Structure 1
Amino acid sequence: MSDSRVPFSDIYLATEPYVKSVGQVRIGASGIGWKAAEGEAEALQGVNIPGLSMPAGMLALQREDLRRLQWQRVARGYGLRIYTKSGTLHKLDGFTADDYEQLRDAVKRFFSGLTLEVRDISFKGWNWGKTDFEGSDMSFRVENRPMFDLPMAYVSNTNLANKNEVSIEFQPPRTTGKGTKRKGAPDELVEVRFYVPGTIATGAAIPAVRDDDENMSVDGEKSDNDDEVSAASAFHEAIKNAADLGQVSGDSIVQFPEILCLTPRGRYGIDMFSNFLRLRGKTYDYKIPYDNVQRLFLVSKPDELHMMFIVGLNPPIRQGQTRYPYLVLQFVRDEEVAIDLNLEADEDAKRKTEAAKLRKHYDEPLYRIVATVFKAMTDKRLIEGGGFGGYHGSQGIKASLKANEGTLYPLDKGFLFAPKPAHYIPHSEISSIVFSRVDASSSNKMRTFDLKFNMHGAQDYQFVSINREEHATLEEYMTKHGIKMLSELNETTAVSYKGMDADDDDESDEDVTPATLLGAGGGGVGAAALNASVGALGLNSDEDESEDEDFVAGSESDVPEEYDENYESPDDAEE
C-alpha cells in the first residue's frame, strides 16, 4: 500500500491569492489530494475554494474531474496548475526542480489520457502580445508563451477608457476569515490598461462565449451580417463575461433594478450575492465585496419626499482617476414594492439570512427593503437620522461644502454631509467647531452663518451658507454631545494673543516705531495718542531729529489758506 500514493511535502495551496497555507500533496488512483499541515488550516477559514472541506483543511480532486495538468516556474520554486472540468483552476506551489520527474511519472501512472504539460513562461519583457482565457484567469501571451496571468475573480470593474483602450480594475484581496487581517503584499495591482486597436467581425466579437452563442454580437443580439466592431469593444465584453463567470457562484439573493445613484451619477441595477454585490450601469460595472462596506446611513432629505441611503466604502470604487468612497442612493419615500428574496441561493446566503432573520417576502417602501438587506449581508450597523431636529423639524440642515450644496446631518456620533461630496466626520476626530458671522449685535446681521470644523491632525472642513435660524439648535446639539465651540472673534483673539506673546520674547523696544503704532493704514490712532506714545517711549529726542529747513517761525497755520477763499498770503501782499 505504500506505493499506491505518491506524496510531496511542504506544498502551498495557491488557488486563492494571498492565502499562505502549507501542507502535503498525495497523488493516487482516485485523484489528487492536499491536506493542510498542523496549525495551517486556520489560514483557510472563510476562504471559498471549490472542493476544500473545513475545518480539516482538505482539498480532494477526483480523477474524473481532472481536465489538464501543467508544470511551471512560480515564485515559490515550481508549481502545478490543475484545470478541472467544472471550470476551476487550482494551484499548488512549492515543488522543487527534482520533483518534476516523479510527478510526471505519477500522472502517467494514475491518470491515463492525461500528461504533465510544461508551461514555459516568457521573459522577453515585451508589452504587446495576445490574450487567452484559461479557466478563471486571463493569460497574456508573447510569442505563444504566457508572460503573466490576471485572475478574473478579482476584477471589480472594466470599461472602455477610449476608442481603443480597455481599463481593468481589481478589487483588493479578501481577508482570510472574520476578524483577521491580511499581512504582507504591500504592493498590489489595482488597474491595468490594454491598447486594442483595429476591428473584428461581429460574429467573433466575444471570444469567450459558448458554442451556442457564437453568433452573438457585442450588444447580445444575433447577427447574420459581416458588420465589424472595434476589437477593444470585443475585448471589453470578453472581460465582463469572464469576470462574471469567475465571481457568480449561484443565484443572486435579490435584484434591485434601476436604482437612482447620486454618487456616482447614474442608474444602476444592484444584484446582491452571498459575499459581494454587483452594480450594473450602462457604462460601468462594479463588483464590491461586503468586506469593503464600512458604514451604512439612512437619512431623509429636507424636502421630506426623498430618502438617501449612503454606503461608505474602503477602498473606494473608481472611475478613471476619480474615487468614490461613498455610494449615495436616492429613493422616493412613498414608493412601495413587493419583493421576494432567494434565501437559499447558497450556504453562505442561507447562513447570513437566517442570522439576520430576513423574511422571504417584503411589501413595504423600497428604501427600507434595500437598507434591511444591506444591513443583513454586510453585518454593519445602520445609522439613521432622527436624533437631531432642526428649526423646521428636519433631520438635517442645508449647507454648502466649498461649491457643493447639500445637507449636513448631525448624528449620534458624528456629522454626515450628503449628497456630493459625501463626508462623515466622527465626533472623536473633531477638535473644536467655530461659528462664523453669528454676532447678534451687529447692525448688518447676515441671514446665514458658517461652521468650521477644526480636526485632530486632519484636514479642516468649512460649511457655509447655513440658515441663521439653525444656530440655536446646533449650539444645543453640540452642548449635549460635549463638542468644544468657539466664536470667530474668540478664535481670532486667541491666535492674536499667541502671536503677541511670541513677538514679545523676540523683539526689543528698539524695533518699535511710530509707524508700527500707527499701523499700515494709519487709521484708528489720533495724533495726541501717537505723540503721547512716542514721548513715553523716548523717541522724541532732539538728537534724533533734523531741523526743518522750510520752517518759518511765527508763520500762521495753513488752515486759512485751505478754507478761506479771500485769504491772501504774505507772498501775494509783496506782489
Structure 2
Amino acid sequence: MESFTDIYLNLSKKAGTARFAESGWGWKPASGGDTFTLDQSQIVMAQWSRAARGYEVKLLSRADGVVQLDGFKSEDFERVAKAFKIWYGIHLENKEHALRGWNWGKAEFGKAELTFNVANRPAFEVPYTEISNTNLAGKNEVAVDFSLPVDANDTGTNGHLGGARARGKKSGGAKDQLVEMRFYIPGVATKREKKEDGEDVTDGEDVEEQNAANLFYETLMEKAEIGEVAGDTFATFLDILHLTPRGRFDIDMYEKSFRLRGKTYDYKIQFEAVKKFMLLPKPDDVHTLITIGLDPPLRQGQTRYPFLVMQFKRDEEVNLDLNMKEELLESQYKDKLQGHYEAPIAHVVSEIFKGLTGKRITRPSRDFISHHEQSGVKCSVKANEGHLFCLDKAFMFVPKPATYISMDNVASVTMSRVGGAMAASRTFDITFHMKGGMAEHQFSNINREEQQPLESFFRAKGIKTKNEMADDSGAILAAALQDDDLASSDEEVANRGSADEDDESIDEDFQAESESDVAEEYDEDHQSSGSASDDEMADADSDAPAEEEMVERPKKKQKTAK
C-alpha cells in the first residue's frame, strides 16, 4: 500500500489521506467523514500535472468520470507512477500545461472533459460533469454555463451524496466560482457522419460542412448530456409563452428537475432551485400567470432572471395522461399527483409542479378586491407596464421587471400624485419604503379608483400608510379650475378663428376665376370656349374707340337674332 497525506479530493476544502493498493484506491478526510473508493477495474487513464496545491493526479473512471487528487509533491511522482504501472497496468502520463497566456487555441472533446490546447499543450480542462448548460450566444459564439452546488460546502466528497458522480459538486470548492465561459469559433467545420457500425466515414466519402460554432454547440450538448436527463419525462407542455424571459419554450417535467426548450436557449432547472410558486389571475379576464421564483436565478448571458413568468389562456384546456408507472404514482406521489388530468392548462401545470416540488401554490389575497373586482391593479415601474398583485404576505409585480416585496420588509407606504394637475387627478403613485436601508419601490400610473381598495388593504395588514393626496387636494382643484378657464378661453379664440375662415370662404370661387383669367391672359394659343362671360367681354369691346386694338384681336362670332 502507498499512502499520501494532505491530499484534496475533487477540489475539496479539507484535506485527507489517499491510499493506493492492488484492489484500487481510496480517500478519507482527515477530520472524519465518508470515505470515497474506486475499484482498480474502473480506472481507465491517469495523468500527472501541476495544479493549485502542488501536483495533481487526474483519473478517468468508467462510472464517475474525472476524479482529481490534488496536493502531491514533485518527489511523489515515482511512487505514484510505480503503483499505477504495477497494480493497475496504466501508464501515468506527465502532462505539462501551456503557460503562454494565449486566449486562442484549439478545443478538443475527450471522453470525459473538454480540453483547450495552446501550442499542442492543454491550457485548461473542463469536465463535462461541471457543465450545466450551453447556448448559441451569436452566429460564431457559444456560451457555456457551469453548474452551481446547492450547498457551497458540498464538493462531492461525501459518499451518501454520490461522491464524484454528482454534477456540479466541484464548483463548491472555492469562494469565487466561474459561472460562464464563452468561445468565439469562426469559419466552417466538417462533420463526419458515422456508419451503422459506429465507425467514421473515410475521406473519400461524403462529409457535411456546417458552421463551426453550431458543430461545437451540438457536440458539447451530446458529450455533456445536457439534453438528456436521468429518468423519463413525466409530462410535456408545448409552446408555452414566457413573458420573462421573453419567448416560447417547451416544458419537460422530470422527477427532480424541469427543462425549458426554446429555439435559441435551452435550460435545465432543478426543483431544489424553486423557492416560490405563484398562480396569478391577470386582470384582463383572459389570461392566468404562473410565476416561479428561482434561487440561484436563471442566467442568460449577463442577464439574471430570478423569476419565470408564464402566461396561459384561461379557456384553454388540456387532456393529459401522466407518464408515470402506477407503482411509482402510488408509492411516492399518492395524494399529490393524478394519473389523468382534464382541466385548464394553467391548473394542470401548477398541480404537477406542486406535486413534484412539494412547494405551496401562492394565490392573491382574498382580503383585496380592486375597483374592477380583480386581484391586481394596473401600474408601471418606470417605463414598464404591468400588474401589482396583493398576496397575503407580500406584493408581486409582473411581468418585467418581476419584483417581489415581502410585507415583513416594508416600513411604510406613501400614496402621492406625481406630474401635472390634470394627470395627477386621474392617477396616483405608490412608494414602498423598505426597512434596513433597502432600496424603495415605486409604482406609478395607478387608476384613481384603486386608491380606496389599496389603502384599506394596507391598513388591514398593519402597514403604516401615508396619504399625501389629501394634503394637496385644494391646490389640485384650483389648478384644474384654472385649466378649465384657460381651456374655455382657448375655445373662444378657436371659434372666432373658425368664423373668420367662414367669412373668407365666399371668395373661393372668385379666386378660382382669377387664376383662370391669368392663365388665359398669358396663354398665346388660347381659344375662347364661347361662354357667357366671353359674350359680355365682346359687348364691352364693341364700345371701345381704338380701332387698332380691334383689328389685332381675333374676330368674335356674332349673335344671330331670332
1:331: which partner in 2? 312
Judging changes above 3 Å, is the alpha-carbon distance between structure 1 residues 184 and 146 closer, same or farther for their aligned structure 2 residues?
closer
1:259: which partner in 2? 240
2:161: which partner in 1? none
Q: TM-score, structure 1 length as denominator?
A: 0.70
Judging changes above 3 Å, is the alpha-carbon distance between structure 1 residues 340 and 75 closer, same or farther for their aligned structure 2 residues?
same
Kindly report the root-mean-square deviation, in angstroms, between the aligned alpha carbons of the 2 structures: 3.6
Count of residue pairs brought into register by the alignment: 450
Which one of 156, 170, 173 corresponds to residue 146 of structure 2?
170
Code of the aligned partner of 2:56: G
Q: Counterparts of 1:264-283 in structure 2 under 5 Å?
A: 264-283=245-264
Distance 2:59 2:126 in 1: 16
TM superposition shift of 1:188: 2.2
1:313 aligns with 2:313: no
Code of the aligned partner of 2:75: D
1:404 aligns with 2:375: no
Which one of 244, 264, 268 corresponds to residue 225 of structure 2?
244
1:23: which partner in 2? 16
CA shift digits 1:323-357 (9 cap, x unpaired)? 32211012233423323144799xxxx89993785
The SS at the match of 2:220 is helix
Judging changes above 3 Å, is the alpha-carbon distance between structure 1 residues 383 and 373 closer, same or farther for their aligned structure 2 residues?
same
Distance 2:134 2:253 in 1: 19
Distance 1:446 1:213 in 2: 76
TM superposition shift of 1:233: 1.4
The SS at the match of 2:74 is coil
Distance 1:329 1:228 in 2: 38
1:186 aligns with 2:175: yes
Which one of 410, 413, 427 corresponds to residue 448 of structure 1?
427
1:110: which partner in 2? 87
Code of the aligned partner of 1:163: K
CA shift digits 1:523-555 (9 cap, x unpaired)? xxxxxxxxxxxxxxxxxxxxxxxxxxxxxxxxx
Which one of 95, 98, 102 corresponds to residue 119 of structure 1?
95
Q: Counterparts of 1:483-562 in structure 2 under 5 Å?
A: 483-488=463-468
The SS at the match of 1:479 is helix
2:25: which partner in 1? 32
CA shift digits 1:76-125 (9 cap, x unpaired)? 2222211123461112222222322111111122123x221222222111
2:186: which partner in 1? 197
Code of the aligned partner of 2:397: F
Q: Which has the larger radius of gyration?
A: 2
Task: Tell me, yes or no, if the aligned pair for 2:431 and 2:442 is still in contact at 8 Å.
Answer: yes
Task: Tell me, yes or no, if the aligned pair for 1:155 and 1:287 is still in contact at 8 Å.
Answer: no
1:354 aligns with 2:347: no
Distance 1:492 1:468 in 2: 15
Consecutive unaligned residues in structure 2, runs of 5 or more? 155-168, 474-562
Consecutive unaligned residues in structure 1, runs of 5 or more? 42-56, 216-223, 494-575
Distance 1:36 1:356 in 2: 40
Distance 2:220 2:108 in 1: 11
TM superposition shift of 1:466: 2.0
Distance 1:140 1:97 in 2: 25
TM superposition shift of 1:416: 0.5
1:13: which partner in 2? 9
1:421 aligns with 2:417: no
Task: Tell me, yes or no, if the aligned pair for 1:362 and 1:369 is still in contact at 8 Å.
Answer: no
The SS at the match of 1:420 is coil
What's the % identity of the aligned pairs?
41
Code of the aligned partner of 1:481: K
1:158 aligns with 2:134: yes
CA shift digits 1:238-259 (9 cap, x unpaired)? 2222332597344444433332
1:374 aligns with 2:353: yes
CA shift digits 1:208-262 (9 cap, x unpaired)? x9974968xxxxxxxx855521211111222222332597344444433332211
1:83: which partner in 2? 60
Judging changes above 3 Å, is the alpha-carbon distance between structure 1 residues 398 and 472 closer, same or farther for their aligned structure 2 residues?
same
TM superposition shift of 1:423: 0.8
Judging changes above 3 Å, is the alpha-carbon distance between structure 1 residues 373 and 88 closer, same or farther for their aligned structure 2 residues?
farther
Distance 1:80 1:458 in 2: 48
